[in-house]
Structure 1
Amino acid sequence: MHSNSSSDEISERITHEAAHWCIRVHEADFTPKERARFEQWLESDPAHRLEFEAMQDIWTTSEAIAVSPVGTTGNTCARPIRQRRQGAFRHYAKAAAFVLLALPIAALVGWKQGWVPNDFQRYSTTTASSEVTLGDGSTVIMNTNTRLTYLNYIDHRSVVLSEGEAFFKVSHDATHPFVVSAGNGDVTVTGTQFNVWKYSEQVVVTLTEGSVIVNSDSRSKARAVRLVPGMQASYSASTRRPETRTVDTRQVIAWQEGKLIIDDLTLDQALPMINRYLDSPVVLGDKYVGDLRLGGIYNTSDIAGLVQALPRVLPVQLARNKEGNTVVRYKRSYSPLEIR
């Protein structure tokens, strides 16, 4: 009896700690010293990381719930409240949103008003890709290390891509738009096929069929661009408007066949593509090595082998930094001027 009580206390303590860190990492005043303490807490116990990831999923989901539904405007009565400390407000707003989901009558009212979803699904992958079918019949092929959440509202379908990469085949419904939120922006469609890759704060959207609207800022429609098949749009937190270009979509979605195609890219461009398949990212050791170019077709199951082979195809050497990351540097026998 005492053992069960002790176990419950430990579990409750971890939950409280995870909730605390989940709130703090999203605050603007989160300091580097706090970040170091958070990382230490995260690594000290596998249960800490599992609980924190669960909290992150709750945070992501409640962000989607808290957003005003498509075609509606926010409650003007809430504006004075928003002028208070944002972190505390978001915390209690999220708690209130989940209470609504737990109460059948309130949930029914919330569904009819477009405030809360009637369907909520959460998916994640680690070392292998996976195909899932959403509640609306749309299918999603998820690359490795990907997390997403699906919510179905009365007037729109919402997917939050927290991290990773996914290829969407959206079930057509002109009256029920499908919105993928990634980073600061979103992708809106009624029925089409497209790929979304989120890496750090960078988001890349590639359209293979149909039409999509890509917005680099979910709060402003003025930053949106429309794509046609064969086009790609990219944006980040600092992008005013998505940057677009024409691409070979077969190369972009080759990951579905277990292939990574690098088409004569600089190492600076290629490393984000490589790092999505590694447990810890490869980093550049100096400002010159990022300009070296790399090409080829590689198996996504052996990207670690690609990294180890870099010294055989480029004038570089590999080392480890104190964080355990692989660092790519020029070989000492070369100088930047000789190579450039």
Structure 2
Amino acid sequence: MSENSLSEAEYDAITDAAAHWCMRLHAGDCTAEERRAFTQWHDADPLHAFEYAAMLEIWDVADHLPRSEPSPVVLPFKQRSRLRTYAVAAAVCLAALPLAAFTGWEAGWLPSAYEHFDAANGLRKVTLGDGSQVELNLGTELVYRNYKDQRQVTLKKGEAFFKVTHDRGHPFIVKAGDGQVRVTGTQFNVWKYEDQVRVMLLEGSVQISSDTQHAGVPLSPGMQASYHTGDATPQVAAIDPNDAGLAWRQGKLVLDNLALADALPLINRYLNKPVMLADANTGAIRIGGIYNINEVNNLVPSLPKVLPVYLTQNQDGNPVLNSIPRKAPKG
């Protein structure tokens, strides 16, 4: 289907459908049948996918709007349903109105800039609206928003290295998982995988918090902090001089004699289907080597050739590493 061949009504129908699916998929009562129907609609035409991706970005902005609301007005059911369908689009309409946009900017809840970046096919370097430089690892996705009182990046997944433009009166916030990194101007790396986050500081100073309830922990150059979802405070330690955590910037994955339990999170970030461990004994087996991040898929099937393991598959289709039992000595 060509966008140019569509009538205005047909194009509006696709936009309406995208808004509907965005609302339903974010609803707590969305059913498996609805999700299958959405996938069928989404994959039926590239324009469907494009409109839905655009609607998701609108939803993301709307999610940051103030939560206080005036007293509700009771409406007939059909009208309420229709309004809910267009609730996300209404946020953009608000931003499109100069007076409302100015008011939202002055109040500090509407950004003056919104940028989305991803590195689905390889390493990528981008410049944010404030001039800050960001290097994105393979498979990384982040969003940048510029508010009146702060610059804000949400690291949705992956890893990024930041060179932040100094602006003491306009702090730079990186949200990752439940926590955040707060800086004014510095160089640091943030890695997020599932519920794990690791921050490495090379230059300047930052404040790290693992959630929104506790005060930040200061980091100085040569230090790192890590946390999981649910942690009250991050764990802080010195960066090992031999740490190869930044080798990805040269397109390399370095595993320096790591236990599989520690190596798999580093490997899995580059895989569509993460590798699982059969048990703790398998996780204790150690692995080393230097690998090209674009060829990590080839690493998994080769592991039985270099380690005492064999591969199986679980019911979800994930490869599973199993240790080969040692034979008891004779005699």
TM-score, reference length from structure 2: 0.81
Please report how far the alpha carbon of residue 43 of structure 1 lies from its aligned counterpart in structure 2 after TM superposition. Answer: 5.2
Per-residue Cα deviation, 1:117-147 (whole angstroms, up to 9, x for no partner) = 1111111111201000011110100111111
> Would the aligned equivalents of 1:177 and 1:189 in 2 still touch at CA under 8 Å?
yes
Specify which of 166, 172, 195 is matched with residue 166 of structure 2. 172
C-alpha distance in 2, partners of 1:111/1:291? 52
Structure 1 partner of 2:227: 235
User: Which residue of 1 is the match for residue 58 of structure 2?
Assistant: 58
CA distance in 2, matches of 1:51, 1:37: 21
| Match status 1:11 vs 2:14 | yes
Name the SS of the counterpart of 2:14 in structure 1. Answer: helix
Structure 1 unaligned spans of 5+: 68-74, 82-87
Which residue identity does 1:121 align to in structure 2? E
2:26 matched residue in structure 1:
23
User: How far 1:92 moved relative to its partner?
Assistant: 8.6
Task: Assess, with a 3 A threshold, how the Cα gap between structure 1 residues 313 and 213 changes in structure 2: closer, same or farther.
Answer: same
- Relative to structure 1, the CA distance from residue 137 to residue 243 in structure 2 (aligned partners, 3 Å threshold; closer, same or farther) is same
Question: What SS does the corresponding residue of 1:245 show, helix, strand or coil?
Answer: strand
**C-alpha displacement at 1:206, in angstroms?**
1.2
Query: C-alpha distance in 2, partners of 1:112/1:322?
Result: 52
Secondary structure (helix, strand or coil) at the match of 2:174 reads strand
With 321-330 and 10-19 compared, the bigger mean Cα shift is at 10-19
Secondary structure of 2:311's aligned partner: strand
2:204 aligns with 210
1:124-139 to 2 correspondences below 5 Å: 124-139=118-133
Structure 1 counterpart SS, 2:134: strand
Which of 126, 141, 152 is the equivalent residue of 1:158?
Answer: 152
1:266-314 CA deviation, whole Å, 9 max, x = no partner? 2122111101112221122334312222222221121122212211221
Gaps of 5+ in 2: 73-80
Describe the shift of the 1:80–1:16 C-alpha distance in structure 2 as closer, same or farther (beyond 3 A).
closer
User: 105, 108, 111: which one pairs with 2:99?
Assistant: 105
Find 1:224's aligned residue among 216, 223, 228: 216
Question: 1:171, CA displacement in angstroms?
Answer: 0.3
Q: Which amino acid aligns with 1:305?
A: N
- How far did residue 116 of structure 1 move? 1.1
The answer on 1:306 being equivalent to 2:299 is yes
Match of 1:244 among 236, 239, 264: 236
1:253 alignment partner in structure 2: 246
CA distance in 1, matches of 2:169, 2:36: 48
Does the CA contact (< 8 Å) of 2:15 and 2:51 recur in 1?
A: no
**Identical aligned pairs, as a percentage?**
43
The equivalent residue for 1:72 is none
- State the 1:99 CA deviation: 3.0
Taking a change above 3 Å as real, the CA distance of residues 214 and 91 of structure 1, as seen in their structure-2 partners, is: farther
The CA deviation string for residues 203-223 of structure 1, in whole angstroms up to 9 with x for no partner, is: 2111111111111113x2x34
Q: Secondary structure of 2:261's partner?
A: helix
Pair member with larger Rg: 2
For 1:92 and 1:313, how far apart are their aligned partners in 2? Answer: 56
User: What amino acid does structure 1 have at the position aligned with 2:189?
Assistant: N
| Cα distance in 2 between the residues matched to 1:328 and 1:167 | 31
The alpha carbon displacement at 1:56 in A equals 4.0
The RMSD of aligned alpha carbons is 3.2
Residues 138, 169 of structure 1: 8 Å contact kept? yes
Which of 268, 273, 284 pairs up with 2:261? 268
Distance in 1, matches of 2:240 and 2:71, equals 49
Amino acid of the residue matched to residue 295 of structure 1?
G
Distance 1:278 1:8, change over 3 A: same
1:7 Cα deviation from its structure 2 partner = 5.8
